Amino acid sequence: MAALKDRQAYIYVFLGAALWGIIGLFIDELSQAGFSALQIVTLRVVSASVMLVCYLALKNPKLLKIELKDALSFIGTGIFSIVFFNWAYFTAIEEVSLSVAVILLYTGPAFVVILSRIFFKEPMTSRKVGALLLTLFGCMLVIKVVPIGVEHISWYGILVGLGSGFGYALYSIFGKHALKKYKSLTIITYTFVFASLVMLPVSGVTIKSEQLASTHVWMHILGLGFFPTALAYYLYTSGLSMIESGRASIAATVEPVVATLLGVLVFNEILTFYQVIGILLVLVAVILVQIKRKRTVK
């Protein structure tokens, strides 16, 4: 029964991460429509929060009830994680490069493993450490940081990029804490509500009405809010409720693999030999982290 539950959890995490991986489809269209990166983040969190609040209000209003003392958990997932890591990620892209920024973002699982050890007493096993190293190197191959490398990197960009990884990790930590008391739908709803409260004043006011006049634009805004946001976070959070935070975060590193394969299938990008090796390393790490050490009976 436990094995079946674990398998279900990993399926949820994989599906959630795969949906994160298709976000480029929506970002590409909205960028062409004239929206800036921060405006797209605003559209993402606001559309997701509106859909989730409306859904729960009609389907199960009880899930919208939270205690004021628990708001810190949702501030953590919504502001400290979603808002902060997006700001840090986009800043890192400007300071260094997209490839380096992505790698720094994917230091997140390492932060999750360390923080989970501190707060949830999750074991720091050699298998987890090995999986972390495989995913990091695999991601570097997938996004072509290795073997190309970089000649000059801004130290501020590195610091902010690591901050994005830390912020990315905080969702798993605050989310795991909130799961002790609340359902996944409640957590993701208030995550995006709190994120919207910050993002709307920051960049939402800069969105012009004429930018929202197209049905095509609205379809991509709603698609962005639902598929790689509301549904993806629901699936990931549901999986997180069943397995350790560290294992879930490592399994979620299939996201850049999906994004790369999407680039090949949709945008006709060419997959290199090193990218194939990187994809295989990430998949091996994901399998490795699922294997539990068998206990010997004395």
Residue 155: what pLDDT?
Answer: 83
pLDDT at 295 (0 to 100): 44
pLDDT, residue 103, reads: 80
Model confidence at 297: pLDDT above 50: no
Residue 298 scores a pLDDT above 50: no
Which residues, other chains included, contact 173 with Cβ-Cβ below 8 Å and sequence gap of 6+? 76, 112, 115, 116, 119, 245
pTM (two decimals): 0.90
The two three-digit tokens of residue 124, written as one number: 């720091």
Report d(CA 253, CA 11) in Å as an integer: 13
**Domains of the chain, residue spans:** 2-290
Residue 67's region, left for phi above 0, alpha for psi from -120 to 50, else beta, is beta
Place of tokens 């994901």: 286
Mean pLDDT confidence for 136-143: 85
Spatial contact of 282 and 143, defined as CB atoms under 8 Å apart: no
Structure tokens at 31: 């960028």
Tokens encoding 187: 């957590």
Question: Is the pLDDT confidence value at 288 over 90?
Answer: no
Backbone angles phi, psi at 253, to 5 degrees: -75, 5
Residue 268 vs residues 9, 33, 129, 297: alpha-carbon distances, Å? 33, 21, 35, 53
Distance between CA atoms of residues 41 and 48, nearest Å: 11
pLDDT at 108 over 60: yes
CB 116 within 8 A of CB 176: yes
Interior/surface letters 254-275, b for 16+ CB within 10 angstroms, e for the rest: bbbbbbbbbbeeeeeeeeeeeb
Vertex 203 angle, CA 50 and 86, to 5°: 80
Average pLDDT, the chain: 90
Mean pLDDT value across residues 22-42: 91
Contact 272, 131 (CB under 8 A): no
pLDDT given for residue 268 in this prediction: 84
256 band by pLDDT with thresholds 50, 70 and 90 = confident
CA separation for the pair 253, 255 (Å, rounded): 5
